[in-house]
Chains A and B, each alone.
Chain A
Amino acid sequence: MKDLQIWNGPSTSASHVEPELTRRSFLRTGAAAIGGMAALAAALAPLRELASDEMPNLDQFLQKHYKEMSPAEMEQALERIRNKVEERYAVRPHLRDVKPMEGVEFAYALNLSRCIGCRKCVHACVAENNQSRSPEIQYIRVLEMPRGTLDVEKGNHHYDRPTVPNADHFYLPVQCHQCASPPCVKVCPVEATWQESDGVTVIDYDWCIGCRYCEAACPYWARRFNFAKPNLPKDQLNPNMSYLSNRPREKGVMEKCHFCLHRTREGRMPACVEICPTGARKFGNVLDPKSEVAEILRTKRVFVLKEEVGTLPRFFYYFDERYPNTLDPEALAIAARLREEEGDSYGCLPGAAGPRRDFIAAAKPAWWIGENA
């Protein structure tokens, strides 16, 4: 009979097999097993730091996909979320599930001759939609573009504030374009994101598995991921919220602009439109011929970004043909006034350019020291 020492170990004879040796080696095996378990327990130790309210409870674990929930189940889910928000933020939110309106398709138009690059829309959006403040998540990115090009690679994302608007530049705000043929929806493996009948692409934050394929697929860099537990101070919570829009998100899920559907589906304007000091932003129901956006689409030479990728955006840009070489003088006057009134805070971009991972260092885990990504 051949032995099994295929690893060419030192050959030994059968006479070595003696009872006490077997016992000793049995103990040794046991000790190795115990040592192994101890090492495994040590390796798993960081899990003790998981906050108890971050662990999904059974209700949440069994919660169905948005489209599969009955009204009663939806109410149950809403109640669970209300309780959780109240527990975390000490505010009882006005949370509901707002459905799309019949005969409505939203569209957005942006007059680039009137955008002064003040970034008020960026901050109004953050305040409205309960995004994490640290690291700050922003849905709108404003690019400072040299005149004569629409190549975003020539744009400046981190333009300096006090001089805005710079002559020979225009400002190009980009957010989710709510495409009619959205690549992000196509790629999602679990149907956690879809397009609603009013044209808004939404995300079920309780269904998203966080694979970030949609983020890779989006040609407009409109999607954001919660790389960390969102950090939203209690006093900054906006309690007016809906299931598919601005309710507080969890760590590890995607989010993005949803045309403020908790406002717009109830007849109000999105926060970015409301705040815009120059009226560069226009929003409305494109199916209603009397709406401002329908009028703009009929009468202005509108265009979309990256038409060649075939996404059919519902977000249109146009220049005011009266001012081929400059911004609208009226907008420039508003900018001058704002610069004077607001001083240093005018046009600033806190958060987006800053360090994104400081909060881990702030939690002081020793293992993070030396990482400065």
Chain B
Amino acid sequence: MRTYLTFLLRCFRLSFVGDYRYYAWMFFLTVLVLFGINAYCKQLVYGLATTGMTDQVSWGFYIANFTFLVGMAAAAVMLVIPVYIYRNRELHDLVIFGELFAVAAIIMAMLFVTVDLGRPDRFHHLLLRFNFPVSMLTWDVLVLNGYLLLNLHICGYLVYCAYRKREPSKYVYIPFVFVAIVWAISIHTVTAFLYSGLGGRPFWNSAVVAPRFLASAFAAGPAFLILTLSALKHFTTYEVPAKAFMTLRNTVAIALSISMFLLGSEAFTEFYTNSSHVASATYLFLGLHGRTALVPWIWSAIALNSLAMVLLYLRKLPVLQAACVMLIVGIWIEKGMGMIVPAFIPTPLGEIVEYLPTRNEILVTVGIWAAGLLIYTILVRITVPVLSGRLTYDQPFVAARDPALFAPHPSSEGVVR
């Protein structure tokens, strides 16, 4: 227990140690978080009227980002599956970075739901009258929290074992890994069911929503991991095997193809049938009655995804990174502005009210993303030295030697037992 507390203390102190780039990055993120907190306080005072949402478009940017991030969290399994099912040992340690990102992404997703609530002060009502299993939102609360705990357990256990220089006991984590694989699929499926179960919203009421969500998530998530591993490779001495990039690239390429295929299937069914249900899709892709706010968004998404699709096949790391950035942005648009917002336009009574996020809404959104990246950076910053054996229980904790970077508390003399 004492060793574990020491471990946590060391982790805490380690998160304040780094070179000037680390400090600059963390300072930058902290400033964004503060701006986000400030914007959220304004929203608390004036209400959700500070957002671009209306009774007509009652979910917007927040729920869009929530949906995207649930997908990103689910995508951690795309590293887990090759390692634990196909026994690809080289990627073993990298799995943790995927799972850590799942932790950060789930926290972000939960924050997005929270800021979308009109009465966050009544959050405890969820515990008192939980409409399970009827409401899909209660399913989402369960699976997201469960997934968060699973990943915290797996990562925490593996990192702590490395810290104690112990071989992890298979019985303590392998079963959870397999549960987490199924669970990851479930979180995004449940999130898709949240939308596809609504008969009053024909744009969402399609069986292909869940597969589409999974496919696009399995493209965007591993793409983000490629960028993370690139950052590790660039900024740290951590060894990232080249094979990791190739494995992830293949995953991204396949998932992106499936995602685009499903988008095409959806578009075909809507436009060829050309029933009255096509209105939202028409609004999204072509504009309806001269209203075209979403048209540039969706076509940018399609252009970015198509270009990324081609670039993925050029075997160069910088090109791969560029492709990853493109497709993350592309899928973020497709699932957010392209999936959540058009379902509300036109309304079930046929009224067309357009939606664009306000500045305050964007600041809250940016703040949450910054908070998530802050959490992820700290998690990675702690994990890297532990996994590479430079921070273990029997080594005295010596922070970076430059005292400008880290000042130990006088009583600890820079050494913590």
- Bound together, the chains give a CA A367 to CA B408 distance in angstroms of 41
State in angstroms the CA–CA spacing of A368 and B271 once bound together: 40
Within the assembled complex, what's the spacing in Å between the Cα atoms of A157 and B289?
14
| Residue contacts A-B, CB under 8 angstroms, 15 given | A3-B401, A6-B237, A9-B19, A9-B400, A9-B405, A189-B126, A213-B194, A216-B59, A219-B348, A227-B51, A250-B119, A251-B118, A254-B118, A360-B46, A370-B359
Per the bound structure, the CA–CA distance linking A192 and B131 in Å amounts to 9
A190-B129 contact given A46-B38, A152-B350, A183-B199, CB 8 Å threshold: yes
CB-CB contacts below 8 Å: B402-416 with A: 402-408, 410, 414
**Which residues of B sit under 8 angstroms from A303, Cβ to Cβ?**
none
Contacts of B270 in A (CB 8 A): none
Judged by DSSP, the binding face of A is loop
Query: A216 contacts B49, CB within 8 Å?
Result: no
The digit string for B290-312, where 1 denotes a CB below 8 A from any CB of A, is 00000000000000000000000
Please pick, from B31, B59, B198, B404, the residue contacting A183 in the complex, using a CB distance under 8 A.
B198
A300 neighbours in B (Cβ, 8 Å): none
Complex: how many Å from CA A371 to CA B43? 14
A212 in contact with B141 (CB, 8 Å): no
The smallest C-beta distance from A135 to any residue of chain B, in angstroms, reads: 7
> Which A1-15 residues have C-beta < 8 A from chain B?
1-14
Q: Which residue of B lies closest to A367 (CB)?
A: B42
Do residues A360 and B348 form an inter-chain contact, with CB atoms below 8 A?
A: no
On chain A, the residues within 8 Å of B123 by CB distance are 209
Our pick among B120, B402, B407 for the contact of A9 (Cβ within 8 Å) is: B402
Contact of A7 among B21, B30, B136, B200 (CB under 8 A): B21
Cβ-defined contact, B41 with A45, below 8 A? yes
Q: Which of A42, A141, A186, A212 has the most CB of B within 10 A?
A: A212
Residues of chain A within 8 A of B198, CB atoms compared: 183, 187, 216-217
Partner of A25, one of B44, B197, B238, B404: B404
Q: Which of B91-99, B215-223, B391-399 contacts A (4 or more CB under 8 A)?
A: B391-399
Please list the residues of chain A having a beta carbon within 8 angstroms of any beta carbon in chain B.
1-14, 16-18, 21-22, 25-26, 28-29, 36, 39-40, 42-47, 49-50, 56, 61, 64-65, 135, 137, 141, 143, 151-155, 157, 174, 183, 186-192, 207-213, 215-221, 223-229, 250-254, 306, 309-311, 356-357, 359-360, 363, 365, 367-368, 370-371, 373
Most buried by B among A7, A25, A49: A7
B384 on the A face (CB < 8 A): yes
What B residues does A141 contact at CB under 8 A?
Answer: 349, 351
What chain B residues lie within 8 Å of A365 (beta carbons)? 42, 46
Max count, chain A CB within 10 A of own CB: residue among B198, B348, B381: B348
Chain B residues with a Cβ closer than 8 Å to the other chain, count: 96
Evaluate whether A44 and B41 lie within 8 angstroms (CB atoms) in the complex, with A227-B47, A228-B46 already known.
Answer: yes
Chain B interface residues toward A at CB < 8 A:
14, 17-22, 30-31, 34-35, 37-38, 41-42, 44-56, 58-59, 113, 116-123, 125-126, 128-131, 134-138, 141, 194, 197-201, 235-238, 276, 279, 343-344, 346-351, 356, 358-360, 381, 384-385, 388, 390-391, 395-396, 398-408, 410, 414
How many inter-chain contacts with C-beta < 8 Å in the A-B complex?
279
Contact of A43 among B38, B276, B356, B385 (CB under 8 A): B38
A contact residues around B235 at 8 Å (CB) = 7-8
A211-B130 in contact given A17-B401, A28-B407, A221-B349 (Cβ < 8 Å): no
| Known A143-B350, A152-B350, A209-B117: A8·B237 in contact at CB below 8 Å | yes
Given A18-B403, A207-B129, 8 more A-B residue pairs with CB atoms under 8 Å apart are A4-B391, A6-B388, A9-B21, A49-B45, A154-B350, A191-B129, A228-B47, A363-B46
**Contact in complex: A10, B119 (CB < 8 Å):** no
Residue of A nearest to B390 (CB): A2
Bound Cα distance A228, B399 (Å): 50
State which of A8, A309, A371 has its C-beta within 8 Å of the C-beta of B200: A309
Given contacts A9-B402, A186-B134, A209-B123, contact A151 B55 (CB under 8 A): no
Given A151-B276, A157-B349, A216-B58, are A6 and B49 also a contact pair (CB < 8 Å)? no
A310: B residues at CB distance < 8 A: 199
Nearest residue (CB) in B for A186 is B134
- With A8-B236, A17-B403, A225-B55 as contacts: A356 and B49 at CB distance below 8 Å: yes
Question: B58 and A373: CB pair below 8 A?
Answer: no
Complex Cα spacing A14 to B396, Å: 14
A191's partner among B131, B359, B385 (CB-CB below 8 A) is B131
Is there an interface contact between A221 and B347, defined as CB atoms closer than 8 Å?
A: yes
Roughly how many angstroms separate A56 CA and B50 CA in the complex, as a whole number? 21
User: In whole Å, how far is B20's beta carbon from the nearest beta carbon of chain A?
Assistant: 7
Q: A36-B30, A189-B126 given as contacts; is B49 within 8 A of A371 (CB)?
A: no
Find out whether the CB atom of B126 lies under 8 angstroms from the CB atom of A190.
Answer: yes
A46 vs B37: C-alpha distance when bound (angstroms): 10
Whole-angstrom distance between the Cβ of B270 and the nearest chain A Cβ: 15
B19 to chain A: closest residue by CB: A9
Query: In the complex, which residues of chain B have a beta carbon less than 8 angstroms from the beta carbon of A360?
Result: 46, 49-50
Q: Which of B37, B46, B120, B385 contacts A44 (CB 8 A)?
A: B37
Please tell me if the beta carbons of B279 and A153 are within 8 angstroms of each other in the complex.
yes
- Taking CB atoms, residues of chain A closer than 8 Å to B410 are 22, 26
Residue of B with least CB distance to A309: B199
In the complex, residue of chain A having the shortest beta-carbon distance to the beta carbon of B402 = A12
Q: Are A153 and B131 in contact (CB under 8 A)?
A: no
From A1, A190, A216, contact of B131 by CB (8 A): A190
Task: Please give me the residue from chain B that is nearest to A61 by CB atom.
Answer: B121
